[in-house]
Amino acid sequence: MERNEILEKIIEIASDVLGTNPDDVNEQTTFDDLDADSLDRLQLVTAMEDEFDLEIDEEKLLAISSVADAVEAIESAQEA
């Protein structure tokens, strides 16, 4: 899957889980910008793992703080 497709899916997931407008989310958006608490972040990761049918390793999981980080984590998990 291409990076742009992954980005679009993550923006869609973040918008659904956090109830934000997709137009307000881009690659530089952090989850702090979206007022995501730890439970929200867990829901985001679970939704991403389900959508992309993969598991993000714990080290990468703890480093996800932005949409760009999520894209990179998905790309890494797909390559593994």
Report pTM: 0.90
Q: Give the bridge partners for 66, in sequence order.
A: 30
**Confidence at residue 23, expressed as pLDDT on a 0 to 100 scale:** 96
pLDDT for res 59: 82
Q: In a structure prediction context, what are the per-residue pLDDT tens digits for the chain, which is 80 residues long?
A: 899 999 999 999 999 999 999 999 999 999 999 999 989 998 999 999 999 999 988 788 888 999 999 999 999 988 87
Is the domain spanning 3-79 CATH 1.10.490.20? The answer is no
Q: Give dist(CA 52, CA 78) in Å, integer.
A: 8
Annotated catalytic residue, options 24, 37, 50, 57:
37
Domain ranges for the chain: 3-79
Query: Does residue 32 carry a catalytic annotation?
Result: no
pLDDT of residue 62: 82
